[in-house]
Amino acid sequence: MARLNVNPTRMELSGLKKRLKTAQRGHKLLKDKQDELMKRFIDMVKKNKELREAVEEELTLAFKDFLIARAVMSSEVLEEAIMYPTQKIELEVGTKNIMSVNTPVLKLVGSEVDEAKAFSYPYGFANTSGELDSAVQSLQGVVRRLIELAQVEKSCQLMANEIEKTRRRVNALEYVMIPQLVETVKYITMKLDENERGNRVRLIKVKDMVQTR
């Protein structure tokens, strides 16, 4: 491992030792953060998998009903039935901090409505089929899960990016910076010891010369 290009002095050695201690402490903190991020990321991925499977199952049933309704109804009647929605959805977007990662929090505004409003249909029942009713009801029921799924998937993406950044920092400290500092501290210590031994030898020689005279 290449060492840093510094002057082998005691002041430089003291500064490098402080840098080394700070780097080792930072490496430990980043490693702990990475481990905790991985733990929460795995839990979130499991939750995301369960949500996605549930949403896909509900959407599959809704699409099946919609295809049947499309088969038994004329295109004009079907388009007219779903042309004008009776409800609006407003979404409140916030953030939540998870291990220094700002993950999104999505919430339906005014979602606490009664059952009559929750499943109101934008058409009359005279010219429409029961399958269309089932499809509309299923799609209205899956909206909340879709929003939760979007929130979890975006959180997973942001946490994965943060894990990658943290991993790079940990590796940079572990395999580059800390080894360089250790090697440089070792080099300066050896140089100082060598200079000290040389000074002792010179002092002994000067002492012998003085005593001889």
Residues 158-168: pLDDT tens digits?
999 999 999 99
- Those residues with Cβ within 8 angstroms of residue 137's Cβ, 6 or more apart along the chain or in another chain: 119
Q: Tell me which residue has tokens 């606490």.
A: 112
- Distance in angstroms (rounded) separating the CA atoms of residues 13 and 195: 14
What is the phi/psi pair of residue 47, to 5°?
Answer: -65, -40
> Where do we find the tokens 């002492």?
207
pLDDT confidence of residue 35:
95
Whether 117 has a pLDDT exceeding 70, the answer reads no
Cross-strand bridge partners of residue 106: 93
CATH number assigned to the domain with residue range 10-204, chosen from the 4 options 3.40.50.970, 1.10.645.10, 2.40.30.110, 1.10.287.3240: 1.10.287.3240
Q: Where are the alpha helices (DSSP H) in 103-177?
A: 115-118, 130-172
Residue with more model confidence, 125 or 211:
211
- How far apart CA 155 and CA 54 sit, in angstroms, is 19
Tens of pLDDT along 10-35? 899 999 999 999 999 999 999 999 99
pLDDT at 181 over 60: yes
pLDDT in tens, 140-160: 778 888 899 999 999 999 999
Predicted TM-score of the model (pTM) = 0.75
